[in-house]
Amino acid sequence: MSGLLVAGTTSDAGKSVLAAALCRWLARRGAKVAPFKAQNMSNNSVVTPRGGEIGRAQAVQAAACGVEPEVRFNPVLLKPGSDRSSQVVLLGEVAGEVTAMSYRDRKAALLDTVVATLDELRAEYDHVICEGAGSPAEINLRAHDIANMGLARAAGLPTLVVGDIDRGGVFAQLFGTLALLDPADQALIGGFVVNKFRGDPELLRPGLEQLRAITGRPVHGVLPWAEELWLDAEDSLSYVADGVIGRPAPPVGQQWLRVAVPRLPRISNATDVEALAAEPGVSVRFVTEPSRLADADLVVLPGSKSTVADLHWLRSSGLAEAIAQHAAADLPVVGICGGFQMLSRRIADGVESGSTVDGLGLLDLEIEFAAAKTLTRPTGTAFGEPVGGYEIHHGRVVGRGDDLPSLVSLTDGEPEGGVDGSVAGTHWHGLFENDSFRREFLRWAAKQADRNGFVPADDTAFAALRQTQLDLLGDLVEKHLDTEALLRLLDGGVPSGLPVLPPGGADEMSASNGVGRS
């Protein structure tokens, strides 16, 4: 059935959000909808119910569609481990490591896989909303592209281009993106969407009309800046460095609980702390230098795609010493996945870094990396409350002190994680999304930090909050986009005969003007 590609003028222009919004809008109309991203590069990922790994954005888009996430929604996931190499996850399973150049040689085969996967979804669903990657105007990458116009050409997808006006220069971005494409790619661009506008839309009208006049393509709408939208960011670039996450509500009690999260260079699943930030009276801040820990009540060490390298960064930045001092003062420190591994005595990593290093020594554990990645969705109890989560890691606990209690008791009785005084850790992502556990955890953290005036709210429902935000996205589409035009684009594709702009269409324009080539 029908499909549509949402491309962007830049990274973080709003592709993921617009794709999720379109998914929600169509699902609320009663359509059977699926999300799709041929190739995602992100260290924010989730485990599907069947045990495969996909980008977190596609899991959120699946929630917008009202369907369970599955590996076909994101057939290729690249997880950067350094500036030059990434782990390849193909249809949910690890399929080796690549550099930028070696990956280029694999793309032809991968294009066959992603097109076949997309064909399957289009046969099963009424609509498939596809999200591009980066920008389609990265002409240095076009010859081997499988995520933007390479996919659109192979699958015949009409394409929307979204630009972020909050960054400035949106008209140049939209025009330039179209103009740099070759004629066959330009023929698939059906229109534009302007994202994150603040102010009176009438001020934009002359520019929108001129853009249509010079490109032949309409702007299908202007999405306003929505202060309430902050959950489930595609990656940590969406968060302001040393900035507060979310929109913290005033405390229920007399005191705030201040949470500091080191923003690791290869941070993974940064969204783990968003459930904490959703709580009234909890101020969660990413930090990059040790002075920011001076007034923190709780430190959360997040996940990492490169545990040893990020541990080295913690030490070189002075944050490791500040975390040790925080723990020595009996103030709470919690590690998640890679952050949990950093809290151990020793890390033997023969997979990512090929080295063995001392951990921070705050939990009596030893970690050893295995070639096979753990991908599970376990359940258990923590702080006396039922919990669920998901695991994505190579590191395994191979030794633990006899007196170290677990943080989570698994359903099968095995220990998971550990707690030693004010220090705790777990391999589980998503643990804070369990409402009753999160409240008990916050009580524990506040007690450890002597913040007796902090009181956890008793009615924060994180899953409901996510659904509210997805409904807000659907509302934005209904109120601010030309939905009839979008349906025509979905059902009928891009009209023929649209103008071809130079320089991408320079040869075609020269030919139409009777200018020959020597």
Q: What is the pLDDT of residue 101?
A: 81
User: Residue 509: pLDDT above 60?
Assistant: no
Residue 510 above 60 pLDDT? no
Element housing 498 (H / E): none
DSSP result, 239-303 = SPTT-B-S-PPPPSSS--EEEEEE--TTEE-GGGGHHHHTSTTEEEEEESSGGGGTT-SEEEE-E
Residue 513 predicted with pLDDT over 50 = no
pLDDT digits (tens, 9 = 90+) for 214-238: 999 999 999 998 877 777 766 544 5
**Predicted local distance difference test score (pLDDT) of residue 337:** 97
CA 251 to chain centre: 28
Domains of the chain (ranges plus CATH)?
A: 2-225+482-512 (3.40.50.300), 239-462 (3.40.50.880)
Of 352 and 127, the structure prediction assigns the larger pLDDT to: 127
Please, which residues have CB within 8 angstroms of residue 76's CB and are 6 or more apart in sequence?
38, 39, 40, 88, 89, 90, 110, 113, 114, 146
pLDDT above 60 for 421: yes
More confident residue, 1 or 409: 409
Residues 6+ positions from 243 with CB-CB distance below 8 Å: 285, 286
Q: Indicate if the pLDDT at residue 198 is higher than 70.
A: yes
Active site residues per annotation:
337, 429
- Looking at residue 83, what is its pLDDT? 75
Looking at the DSSP bridge assignments, the partners of residue 353 are: none
- What integer best gives the mean pLDDT of the chain? 92
pLDDT at 512: 46
